[in-house]
Amino acid sequence: MLFSWWKSQTLGTWLHTKLHGLPVGTDAFGNRYYQNKDGSRRWVIYNGTVEASRVPPDWHGWLHHTFAEPPTKAPFKTHKFEVPHQPNLTGTDGAWRPEGSLRKSGQRPPATGDYQAWKPD
């Protein structure tokens, strides 16, 4: 816990949360959200790897004082065209890989011939 801040909370964050943190809620990823007694400071304890893109938009707005009430008290209105939030998948097996890349099987598409190299005058 002393030196693994990228995978968990540090000892200082754990102690501060135990002494001053009031639990506010948990999101779908298992991240836990806290605030101090007067509500002036808000923070998140990540469930797993510390990655800011793992915070959903509604909780992000609450963390940055855009919304006064947390999503547990005032949830977002969702629309039928919205897709669920996903964290950044770069570097994982879920990342997008184009056809012909080294990490994906398949043939690389042939060159179309519409490219002309630039030549200085």
Q: What is the pLDDT of residues 64-89, one digit of tens each?
A: 999 999 999 988 888 899 988 899 99
Total-model pTM:
0.74
Three-state SS string over the chain comes to: CCCCCCCCCCHHHHHHHHHHCEEEEECCCCCEEEECCCCCCEEEECCCCCCHHHCCHHHHHHHCCCCCCCCCCCCCCCCCCCCCCCCCCCCCCCCCCCCCCCCCCCCCCCCCCCCCCCCCC
Tokens of 60: 């992000």
Q: What is the pLDDT of residues 19-44, one digit of tens each?
A: 999 999 999 999 999 999 999 999 99
